[in-house]
Amino acid sequence: MTTATLTATQVARPTVATTFLAMLAREARVMRRNFVSTFLRVVLQPLLFVFVFSYVLPKIGEPSFAATAAGHNFSTVLVPGLVGSAIIMQGIMAVVFPLVMELSWQRSITDRALAPLPVPLLAVEKIVAAGLQALIGGLLVFPAVLFVHAKGQAPSVHVSNWPLFVVVMLAGAVVAAAAGLFLGTIVDPRQIQVLFALVLLPMTMLGCVYYPWAALQHIRWLQVAVLANPMVYLSEGLRAALTPQLAHMPTVAFLGVLLVGAGALSVLAMRTFTRRVLT
C-alpha cells in the first residue's frame, strides 16, 4: 500500500475527547439497561417514608405529623431532604459498587487504565457518570414526594430561585460522586459493608433530611456537629430553593461549602484513584 493510499484512508486515531465521550456513552448504556432496578432502588425508600409520614400517620390522626414547622405540614419539610438524600446516596453507590468490582482480585480496572486516556481523567469520567446518575435519582424522587400524601397534606413546594436550584443540584451531585470515588478507593472491598454502617446511615439520619437545620437550635452541640455532614448543606440548599418559607441555612454558607467541597473532593478523589490504579 502506497503512502498516498495511507494518507487517503487516514486510519482513525482516538483522541482524549472521543475516548472520554465513548466511556461516558458506555456508562449511559449500562444505566439505561439497569434503569428499572435503579428506579426501584432510588424511589422505594423515599416512597415508603412519605407513605408512612404523609399518608398513614395523618390518616390515623397523629397530630404531630399533621402540622409541623411553624404551621407547615411534614410533607413540605420532607421534600428537599429526601431529594438531597437520594442525590447523595445514588451518587455514592453509583461509583462505589462498580469500583469495588473493578478493584477486586480480577483487577478489571486495568483494562480501563489501558484506554488512551490519562488516569486522572478516568477518575473525572467516573465522577461525571456517577453525578449524572445522582441527578436522575434526585429528579425521580419528586413524583413520590409530591403525589403520595393524605388529603390536605400536600407539600407546599415551588422553585423560587431556578439558578440556585440548578447550582445546588449540580454541586450536590458532584460532591456525592466525588465522595463515592474517594471512599471506594480507600475502603477495602471486603469491608464495604462497614461503609453503610459507619458512613451512609449516620449521614442520612443526621443530614437534616427529616428536619431543618434550624430546628436543632435546642440541641446546640448536635447542630454544630452535623456541620461535618455534606448532606446537611445539600438538604438546606434545596430547602432554600424549594421551600423558602421554612427556616434554612444562610445561602452563602451552604453554597460555599457545596462549591468548595465539590472541587476539593474531586481533586482528592482523583489523587487517591490514580494512586490505587497505579499501585
* C-alpha–C-alpha distance, residues 4 and 10, integer Å: 10
Q: What is the pLDDT of residue 225?
A: 93
- Residue 57 grid cell: 400517620
* C-alpha–C-alpha distance, residues 211 and 219, integer Å: 13
Q: By the 8 A CB rule, do 125 and 173 touch?
A: no
Say if 132 falls within a structural domain. Answer: yes
Q: Which residues of the chain have pLDDT under 50?
A: 1-11, 63, 65-67
* C-alpha–C-alpha distance, residues 72 and 211, integer Å: 12
H-helix or E-strand containing 246?
A: none
Say if 70 falls within a structural domain. Answer: yes
Structural domain total, the chain: 1
Q: What is the pLDDT of residue 67?
A: 47
Residue corresponding to grid cell 465522577: 127
Residues spanned by the domain of 206 = 18-278
Q: By the 8 A CB rule, do 229 and 203 touch?
A: yes
Q: What is the pLDDT of residue 11?
A: 46
Say if 8 falls within a structural domain. Answer: no
Say if 6 falls within a structural domain. Answer: no
Contacts of 198 (CB under 8 A, 6+ apart): none
* C-alpha–C-alpha distance, residues 257 and 263, integer Å: 10
Task: Decide: helix, strand or coil at residue 261.
Answer: helix
Which of 224, 225, 234, 251 has the alpha carbon at shortest distance from 177?
A: 234
* C-alpha–C-alpha distance, residues 124 and 137, integer Å: 20
Q: What is the pLDDT of residue 110?
A: 62
Residue corresponding to grid cell 443530614: 207
Q: What is the pLDDT of residue 66?
A: 44
**Helix ranges (DSSP H) in the chain:** 3-9, 16-33, 35-50, 57-59, 63-66, 74-102, 109-113, 119-147, 162-186, 192-195, 201-205, 220-225, 230-242, 251-278
Q: What is the pLDDT of residue 199?
A: 80
Say if 5 falls within a structural domain. Answer: no
Say if 254 falls within a structural domain. Answer: yes
C-alpha distance from residue 154 to each of 66, 78, 137, 160, 246 (Å): 11, 11, 22, 18, 15
Say if 105 falls within a structural domain. Answer: yes
Q: What is the pTM of this model?
A: 0.83
